[in-house]
Amino acid sequence: MSGSGCRNYRSSIGRRAFLGAGVGGGLGIGSLGLASDGVVDLDGVPRDTAVIQYWLNGAASHFETYDPKPDAPLGIRSPFHPIATNVPGTFLCESLPLHAKLMDKVTLIRSVHHDNSDHQHGMHWCQTGHDAKANGVNPFKKSSHASSGCLVSMVRGSNHPGMPPYVFMGYPLDNQGPHRMYPHRGAYLPARFNPMEILIKRTGDGKHPAQDKDFVVRSLSPAGGLSRETFVQRRELLARFEKIRGDADPVATASWSSFHDSAFNLVAGEKTGTAFDLEQEDEATRRRYGHHRAGQSALLARRLVERGVTFVTLIDPGVGLSSSGWDFHKTLEAHTKTASPPMDLAITTLINDLHERGLAKKVLVVVWGEFGRTPKINGNGGRDHWANVQSVMLAGGNYRHGQVIGSSNAKGEVPHDRPLWPYDVVATMYHHLGIDPRFTPITGATRTRPLLERGEVISELL
């Protein structure tokens, strides 16, 4: 990875940058699997490691998912009951019966917290591992840090030269009004490190999850009547125009040319183009994931990491695409009954499928949203924003599972033990990919900031 946007990361830092750079808990370079003279030790970490970030946009309630509180007082206690799982002593909300059958394959973290309960700040915390307001930035208007996916795009690149390093699928994470933040994008990074975005039009009636039995990546479908030969000829013509324009504006032209090359490979590549084509999957597999946005997006995520994408963020639509995902300020019980079954099926099928295909140790699945929900059920029968504690689920990644890390107090208000921050979760993602979270990349002419200023690999997973 070289060029005007970012110098080669192996030549941009020396050995001294890694002395004593262990991330938390006394973890040193060796235990992180990092080389002492580079950011990524691809001899110690498999070359095809990847992350799938399953984002519960709008913020799902921890009470109605991973941290039920059946003994809490009336007004806090969920209308749903807890159910036992296949890990003795671990209980989930009854809204997730399929999760309960594979708890031995996952880890629940019940003590993640941060300090801001609006959507944009919460997204920024979790998508970047940084607090936007610490830098005096209004996250309703812009992002102060690059997302973890974009930084992975820059530092690691893709696992296959014809695939994008980072793919984002779903509706944008800036749907809370007219101000645009895009916390999943690269902020100060060159545009080529932004994700390939597969955006889903917001449809549905707010009562039923979006059904899409013909779910396809339409943006990659060839124009009607356009053959591959004609497409190749058009790309060659475009390259000539880019060469002419490059004399006047070489930096901008280089970025656009990079995008065009990537797009061409995705559409016309013999191996890469089919990665986005769900018609390549047999009907039984598609039905197994569920013929809805959650299931088909999860299936597509599996196909992408299998073909060489390093980082995928997929947005679970929650209850219908006309609502704000999992942002259930009212009628929580009815919304949960609608939103949970597709999510329950999509996530558990993805995890089981990764195990069956021998990919579980190579692919880390992270399920979370921007915060938790209020302990007290409001007058509209819903729960409001609550950053003081939330639950996160992890699966795969060659980590130790079948456990619960941390806990919230009896009323689900705050961490009771092992309090963790979003930057600890992001540090663990980087660790899985063999990336030093303390690495400070060089973009343009100057050093910027470390990937993470704070954060520890969650030691219980090791």
Q: What is the pLDDT of residues 83-102, one digit of tens each?
A: 999 999 999 999 999 999 99
**Which tokens sit at 422?**
């979003």
For the segment 172-188, the average pLDDT, to the nearest whole number, is 61
Q: How many CB atoms lie within 10 A of CB 285?
A: 14
**Per-residue model confidence (pLDDT) at position 52:** 98
Mean pLDDT score across all residues of the chain: 81
For the segment 182-190, the average pLDDT, to the nearest whole number, is 82
**Per-residue model confidence (pLDDT) at position 2:** 34
**Per-residue model confidence (pLDDT) at position 172:** 61
Place of tokens 């125009």: 241
Quick check: 29 pLDDT over 60? no
pLDDT in tens, 306-348: 999 999 999 998 864 445 789 999 999 999 999 999 999 999 9
**Per-residue model confidence (pLDDT) at position 226:** 62
> Which range among 8-17, 177-186, 261-270, 304-313 shows the weakest confidence by mean pLDDT?
8-17
pLDDT in tens, 372-424: 999 999 999 999 999 999 999 999 999 999 999 999 999 999 999 999 999 99
Rg (CA), the chain: 22
Tell me the sheet residues that pair with 373: 385
Provide the 8-state DSSP code for 156: T
Residues 185, 111, 50: CA angle, nearest 5 degrees: 40
For the segment 137-148, the average pLDDT, to the nearest whole number, is 75
Percent of the chain whose predicted confidence (pLDDT) is above 70: 69
**Which tokens sit at 461?**
């997973």
pLDDT band, very low/low/confident/very high, at 263 (cuts 50, 70, 90): low
**Per-residue model confidence (pLDDT) at position 337:** 95
Nearest CA to 242 out of 254, 259, 231, 224 is that of: 254
CA dist., res. 264 & res. 236, Å (int): 11
Is there a contact between 181 and 140 (Cβ–Cβ < 8 Å)?
yes
> Which range among 60-69, 109-118, 242-251, 401-410 shows the weakest confidence by mean pLDDT?
242-251
